Structure formats: structure tokens, C-alpha cells
Structure 1
């Protein structure tokens, strides 16, 4: 079945995500565009997954057969590159062939709006309504090139050049840091280095070779997937380690002593920098599974904290409405005002370097100051396969009155079921990108967070 989820359409290669199904989706996109404009233009990128280039080519040919002019990247690129080109190149849509952080057997298609944002439900619903409507058109590569319908082009340098002016490179280049970058076999490549060069940085890489199997791990920057990065940062005394997910729009950071640091901590820390040092105006955007630390920082800064459903497309909407100057999701995606209304792992890390340069303190010192002022929250998540479920509906979940002896004061059903006590929370949500139920928890101690997750599993298995 072809169905758009939290961020695009994804499926298992050769099962749901096939060349034929991609032609059906591409034809629907063509019909959508032709309803809007006689001669639309589309930019297409693709990641380093198995058959991504071939899938991108099929998509381009189907659009070209519908007399839509297509620019296709000459090499694999991170998703933010397509968003940037969609915005700055005045394209009518951007298309990215990627399954983001999903396991290697998946691939997918993301749609970017002319504003560079993730397509929301109103757009993808229109496209879904056009599936199977009419005959799928086709054209050969040679004919499409001859008619000027397809152009293969380098699409990264425009974004790299923009980022050189977006952050304060003069300050960043004064830093002398030893970095270890884990590309996770994805499309992140050497974009950080391209922006800051020339510099006094020493940059080494992990997993930056082409490997569509992702070395047997999910290309998602979680602590479980970054054990080698964490170990090597500590062992070889790197100042910082950074990991980018499969399509380069999410990140996590590692330090020698503290270890793994996710977006639940990076977002509020960067928010302080953006509002204090860069003097940006606006609130902070987070999803319903965002840390309470984000709310505490927003309150201290005197700005609004906006809460959305899970999925960066909802954060994108806040950017487009001019409500926020920074926003992010728990899975590592952070977006920034005056750039694109989308997440970008590279841009977020550049902003982190800028913050270190402004504050003249290392990241571990800044984190200790943050936790001393606001307290420390411990967030974790786990998941349960739907195959393990007796029933698949969370609506049948038995809501407890207490969580580990603490009264449930509020139930948030914005996106799933979130049980909230005075200083903890536990949430259940069916994933929009994988056949799993996610369980999220946050508390003031690691032990309590783990206990909450175990309780969550018990409640789900009791369905």
C-alpha cells in the first residue's frame, strides 16, 4: 500500500518500495504539479541507500514524460540540500529519495515545498488522491535529455556557500579542535569540512565509505548505534564527535567525558545561543516528546515554547508562520531561522561550533552550566514491533492513575497518549515511518526513566 506517513512515503525495497510503485507516486506528483502550473520545475536528490540513484532516475523520467523540467543531482546528497535548492532555486517541488534513518532494507520519497519545508498532510493528501489516476507516462533518458526535460547538475555548492555566510566563520576558524565525524555510511559526506575550510581543525571520519547496508546498523544517531564513535572520542581524546543520520538532516554529539548528547539537550543549549548571542527573535518549537528542559529554557529566556505533533513538518509550519527562531525534534533534527524551514545536521553542528567560539568555553563546560541552572532531565525511548502485538490500537490502552507512585495529573493526546506527572512523563505513539509502537519517557534520574519504559512495555503488552 502506498501511504505517506510522518515524513514522506517509505517502504521495504522490492516489497512496498518498488520501481512500479514509484512510477505510480511520480505520476501522481506530476498530475498534482500540472494542475498548479503549465511548466513546473522539480529538483531531485537521493541518498547513499541501495538503488537510490536508480529510483531517482525513474522518478525523473516519469516527471519528464509529463513535460515537467527536472534537475537531478549528479551525486548523492543530504536531504537539506534538496530543501535549500527547492527554496533558493525557485522550484515548484523538491523530491528526495531516502528512507532517512530507517534500516537498510527501506527506501522512500520525501517531498519538499517551494518554501523548502517538509510537505504537510494537505499536500500529500492531494497527491494520494491522484494515485492510479490515468496512465503512467514514460520517456527514455536520451529523449528526455534531448528535449531539455532532464538536467544532471551539481546542487551542493550553493548551500555550502550560503552556510559560509550564515555562521560566523571568523570566530569558528579561531578554534583549534580535533573532531571525529561519523557519517554513518550516509549522505552527510564532508559538508562540515567544506564549510569551515580553511581552518585549524583536525577532522577525521568514521563510516564515510559507500555501504548501502550501513554496516548492519540503523543509520540513526542514537547511543546504541554510536558505540564506536563514543569509544574512539574518549580513547583518542577528540574534543568533539558528531554523527549525522542516513540523509544528513539529524545529528548527535559526543564528548570525551560526558559521552552521548542528543537533541533533547542540544536544542535548548542552541536556543540560548541563538537568542542571546545571535539576537534572534521568536520562540522555540518542540514536538510533544520534547524534553521538559526545553520548556524551562524558554521560560527563562522569556519566549514562547510551541509544542507540536511528532514530525518535523509541524515544526516547519511554525518557521513559516514566523513564530520561532529555532525548533527541533527528539530524534536529532534541529532547524534554524533565516535558513530553511527544515532540519539540518550540518547547519546545527556549525551553530554549535559558533556557540563554543562565542562563549569561549568547551561544550562540556557549557553543558554543566546548563544543568546547574535548569536541572538535568533523562530522556529515553524504546519500541515494540507491531508483530508482537495482540491488538494494534493504542485506544485500548489502560490508563493508570499513577506512574511509579506519582499521580498522573494530565493526559496529552495531541499525538498518541502522553501521561504526565509533576516531574515525569510516559508516552505511547504508533510510528508514522516504521511498523512499531514507540514508548518515550523522561524523569529526573536515569533509573526512574528506565523504570517508566519498563512500565510502558507492560502496559502495551497488556493490550
Structure 2
């Protein structure tokens, strides 16, 4: 068969404003990406930043979460990649690859990097959100030096190179290779390489024995995102979970009208079942598969507790049989993980929000397990957070705790309570105020920032019902990377009290409309009599202080957050 020549063309273009990537790439409304050469400009800007010698003949991984516009965008990427010297593109069948699976494929195939099409946990559909980000050769998100360079390219781009006869020529539904002269596209199985990796990490036979127990029932909600494809192959085919216990597992371009964010607000079907006590373990993942939520029977596992429990039970997981190198969390995440690191006498790191900061530590062989309060948990097996990995970790821990089938079942709640009794409990919550007018969001942050700058917050005391909070420290978090020595400033406003309690304020960059104000509350308790209170009740006074200090209600007129975690 004769391989067709590439028919390349140079398109004239002009910059679009606002193509600055956030912590998780560029996210905008679908309609904005569909506007003329908007997508083309950003993709070409990625290639403009990369070294031409490295591009020539290199392998690139491409895939996404299946949201609206994914398939069209992938075809455009094929054309631009071919015209810019890429030799081969690996793409998931039907364009589907979870973000963790992409990281795994990049690492296994020694690819130059990946272009990932996802807006993660944001809604999809024609009027929803779309996103694109570039991952580097370690399988992780590009560092700020690269994303900043991409943004600079978007501000001055004037032409796009594209192979016109490649765009639309690839049938994404069929596994196989399409060959052009000097350019190849291979449609790969979306699951196989990732599943093979998981089998090397966990004892699937032991987990399968857990799943087979009559006194254990597992339920998984893919929230109509990409992990539905992985759930049937991993949870059902490999671990024996009945297909009836896997819900919302057909990927949908608009996530069946839902919001694919695995939390107590946006996963109501699963939460309702767990609150009714229908299952012993209920889990969910988000649109692109990198986030997770874990629930026990009538029991919610806070993501900050989840990573701490996984770390403290690391010996249950075969991958960590030689021990842990270190632990890390994002700054807004509760300090529960710190206590585990101290107990294990291993290095601990507090980093800004963004998985790329963990990647540097992993590449330096100093980090094994890490997590973010935003339902992100992972390890150094890849360079992205990994929802399915976290769920398998919990199943493995449950399997070890229940190795003797003759004994009563040890529940998720019991395991967490054991953890609190050993380490104490960090009462933790996050309030999300979504789609706030950007100017109002900036005003809220300025109120707190001004108090930090002029030090008027230091020493302020708050007293109520026998509780006293005194502000001991306040700053705008700055991180100095111990590996590459880079400095990341303005990473979140911190209010730290004399008892170690914390309030943190951040403006999130993961939405496409307005701003999301996130306020975090963290309070540690050691006395056993105080370990089992209701979280919101226990944090009530601290929450009221946070609202008072920021004047959030007064400025935004919001009396309630959209989401409480």
C-alpha cells in the first residue's frame, strides 16, 4: 500500500486574548474553542515552544475524557502534529484516554509528551467547558516555565502549520495504524497498558477475594466520564465486581447532563445509596479519571484523611514493599498526612496546588504517596493523580484488614477511626463559592491580603462558648522547589492560629466562568472524646471567623457556598 504524502499548508492567524493556562491547562467554554482558529493557535503554540530537533520523528500521546468537541479537536491535533515534525501519535480508541492512563502510556512508550483534552470535573456538552493541557516526557503536567512560554507564544502567533489531508482521515473507532509518509497514527486500546500497570502495583487476587465475600458489596460511579471504560475492564473483568454495581459507566459528551465532580454535592445517586447503607464501599471518579471519592456505609472519607490512611497502611500495597521515600500534600490539604510522615520518620513536603509540583519530587526519587484535598490522590507509579489507583488502594487495604474471612468484617469507618485514635483527627472542610464575579472575588482576596501585608491580623483574638482562637501567623504561601530551585509565589492566603488551626483562601483557576473562591478550614484534635464529632458543627466557630475576616458574605452577597466538602 502506497503511503500518502503529507499535504501541508500554512494558515495565517492572529492571537486570541486570554489563552493563559491555569494549574490544569487552558479551560474555556466549548464555544470559545470552536471560534475560528482558537484551538489551532493554542496547539501550534505548544509545538512552537518545543525544540524542533526533539519534535522530529517523536512520539506524542493524545486523548481525552470524551466530552463534547474531543473528537473534532483530536483530528486538528493530528494535522498540526504531522506538519510540525511529530513522527507518531498514539491515541485512545474513540479518542478516550483517562489522564492517569495517558501518563502511564507516555512513560511506558517513552513518548515526548502528551496533549490531553479535558476540563476534568467541569460540566460538558455544547454549552459546557472544554480544556487542553500539555504533559511532558515524565508523564506529568508541564512546569510553569513551559506553560508560561506557551502563553507567550499565543500572544504573538501569526501562522499555523497543518497537514490538511490528515485532519479527519483517522477512524478513532478502530484499533490499528494509519500510515502517511513520515507520520503515523496508532489507535490503541484505552485500558490495557494502564490495567497492566495496576496489576503490577496491587495484589488483584487478594482484592478479588474481598469482592467475592458475601458480607462485602462494592459500588462504583463513573459519573458518565472516561473511567466507565476502565471500570468494566478492571473492576468487573479483573476483580469480579458485578456489572450491575457499576453505574453511569457509559462515557457521555455532556456527562448525561451532570457535573462530573466526585463529591457529596455532584454524586447524589451514589451518596444516597451509601447513606441508605446499600453498599460497604462506594467510590466515584471524575470526568477524566484523576480524582476520586471514597465512601463507607453511611460514612464519608475526607480526601485529606484518605491519603493519610493510605500512607499509614502502605505495607498493605505490594508496590511499597520496600518502604516509602517520602510523603507530600498540597498546602490547602489538611495536616493529617504530616503526622504519618513524622511517625514513619520519612521526608515530608508541603507544595502549592498543582500535580506538577509532586512530579519534581518523584523524579528526584524523594516522594512515594501524595494528595490534594480536591479529591486527588496518587503515587510515583505515574505523574498524575489517579482516581482508579486510589480506589484500588482502598480495596487493597480493606482486603488486608479482612484477610481472615471467619472474622467480622472490618469496615472503612472502622479503619478511619483506628487511624484517628492513633494520630488524632484533623477536622477539615472546604467551601466553594462558584462563578463569583471576578472583581468581587478579587475584592474578597484583597481584604484578607491587606490584613496580611499590614500585619493587622497578627494577634487578633476570637472568643466564643469557651473557644479561643488567636492569629499567630499570616502569609501568602510561597514555595521554593527543593529540586529545581524555582519559586512559586502567591499560592494562597494562610491564617494560622496559635493552636495550629488554619484558614486558607484561594481563587481557583479551574473554572471557565467567573471565579471560584475556595475557603479551607483545618483544626486538629487529639483527645479521644473529641474525635467523633460532626465536622461542620466542630468547625462552626472557625468558619464564622473566616467569613468575618474576608467580608465574603458582605462583598459577594453569597450566604451559602455552592459546594461543601
Q: What TM-score results when the alignment is normalised by the length of structure 1?
A: 0.92
Tell me whether 1:232 sits opposite 2:273 in the alignment: yes
2:529 aligned residue: none
Match of 1:344 in 2: 386
Matched, 1:81 2:101: yes
Q: CA deviation at 1:186?
A: 0.7
Cα gap change, 1:19 to 1:322, in 2 (>3 Å): farther
Where does residue 437 of structure 1 map in the other structure? 517
Q: CA offsets, 1:2-47, max 9 Å, x none?
A: 0111111111111356462210111112222343423222110011
From 383, 405, 423, give the equivalent of 1:374. 423
Matches within 5 A, 1:135-150: 135-138=159-162, 139-141=164-166, 142=169, 145-147=179-181, 148-150=183-185
Does 2:37 correspond to 1:20?
Answer: yes
Deviations 1:255-275 (A, max 9, x none): 1132x2232111000001225
CA gap of 1:195–1:276, structure 2 versus 1, over 3 A, is closer
Aligned partners of 2:316 and 2:441: how far apart in 1?
Answer: 49
2:64 alignment counterpart: 46
Over 3 Å counting, the alpha-carbon distance change for 1:227 and 1:112 in structure 2 is: same
Cα 1:43–1:395 change in 2 (3 A) is: same
Cα distance change of structure 1 residues 190 and 366 upon mapping to structure 2, 3 Å threshold: farther
Structure 1 residues 418-429: aligned runs within 5 Å: 418-421=494-497, 422-429=499-506
Match of 1:281 in 2: 324
Contact 2:229 2:250 in 1 (8 A): no
SS for the counterpart of 1:111 is strand
Do the aligned partners of 1:34 and 1:40 also contact (CA within 8 Å) in 2?
A: no
Q: Indicate the residue corresponding to 2:219 in structure 1.
A: 180
Residue 365 to residue 190, structure 1, CA distance change in 2 (3 Å) = farther
Deviation at 1:448, TM superposition (A): 4.2
8 Å contact 2:99–2:116 — kept in the other structure?
Answer: yes
Equivalent positions of 1:327-406 (< 5 A) are: 327-337=370-380, 339-360=381-402, 361-384=410-433, 385-387=435-437, 389-390=439-440, 392=442, 394-397=445-448, 398-399=450-451, 400=457, 401-402=460-461, 405-406=468-469
CA distance in 2, matches of 1:52, 1:181: 25
SS in 2 for 1:429: strand
CA contact (8 A) 2:355 2:385 kept: yes
Q: Is contact 2:441-2:516 (8 Å) kept?
A: no
Contact 2:98 2:288 in 1 (8 A): yes
| SS state at 2:425 partner | coil
Measure, in 2, the Cα distance between the counterparts of 1:99 and 1:24: 18
CA distance in 1 between counterparts of 2:165 and 2:42 reads 18
Deviations 1:320-374 (A, max 9, x none): 121111001111111213x112211011111211111222233222111012222
* Counterpart secondary structure, 2:437: helix
In 2, distance between residues paired with 1:460 and 1:275?
46
Partner of 2:304: 264
Residue 199 to residue 90, structure 1, CA distance change in 2 (3 Å): closer
8 Å Cα contact 1:219-1:245 kept in structure 2: yes
How many residue pairs get matched? Answer: 461
Q: State whether residues 23 and 510 of structure 2, in contact with CA within 8 Å, keep that contact through their aligned partners in structure 1.
A: yes
After superposition, the C-alpha distances for 1:45-97 in whole angstroms (9 at most, x for unaligned) are 01121111211221222112223232222222211111111111111011110
- Measure, in 2, the Cα distance between the counterparts of 1:73 and 1:185: 17
What are the Cα deviations for residues 235-266 of structure 1, in whole angstroms up to 9, with x where unaligned? 362121100011001101111132x2232111
SS in 2 for 1:377: strand
Pair 1:336–1:72, CA change in 2 (3 A): same
Structure 2 Cα separation of the partners of residues 87 and 318 of structure 1: 16
Matches of 1:199 and 1:125, distance apart in 2 = 43
User: Which deviates further from its counterpart, 46-55 or 448-457?
Assistant: 448-457
Instruction: Give the corresponding residue for 2:144.
Output: 121
Report if aligned partners of 1:47, 1:186 keep a CA contact under 8 Å in 2: yes
Secondary structure of the residue aligned to 1:174 is helix
1:133 corresponds to 2:175: no
Cα contact 2:136–2:142 (8 A) shared by 1: yes
1:317 matches 2:360: yes
Note if 1:154 corresponds to 2:189: yes
Q: Distance in 2 between matches of 1:5 and 1:79?
A: 16
Distance 1:27 1:216 in 2: 32
Structure 1 residue runs without a partner (length 5+) = none
Distance 1:454 1:211 in 2: 40
Structure 2 Cα separation of the partners of residues 391 and 233 of structure 1: 35
SS at match of 2:357: helix
The alignment's TM-score, normalised by the length of structure 2, stands at: 0.76
